[in-house]
Amino acid sequence: MYLAIKTFHVITVMLSISLFLLRYGLVCRQSAWADNRILKVIPHINDSLLLTSGTSLIGITGFIPFTPAAPWLSVKLVSVVAYILCGAFALKAKNAWQRWGFFAGAMGWLVFILKLAISKYFVLDALAWL
């Protein structure tokens, strides 16, 4: 069961990233497809599935965020919020410099989130022994 949910979670993560990159590219090109209703609705459906699978993984693994049991997960969830905000601002920015800046921020948060999800290690954990 765990492996199936984790696989589904990873697939929804990849789909979420792909949809964001697609919409960002369309916005940058000022394509009419950027305002397509389907391209605005599908990410919300996918993200709901992503949240559901993530919540299921929390229940299965016992990694409870915002507790000493999983400090890496707490940092990951806060980072996901930062990624979402940067991504939303990148899609709504009025000029290319703002759009690029928020996109770069979103990609930076994304790399951090992925590294954290894979390693389950947060730098401050290493400092706990001090």
Instruction: Count CB-CB contacts under 10 A for residue 117.
Output: 16
**In contact, 102 and 86? CB cutoff 8 Å:** yes
The tens digit of pLDDT for each residue in 3-25 reads: 999 999 999 999 999 999 999 99
State CA 93 to chain mean position distance.
Answer: 19
Q: Identify the pLDDT of residue 108.
A: 96
List pLDDT tens digits, range 74-104: 899 999 999 999 999 999 999 999 999 999 9
pTM: 0.87
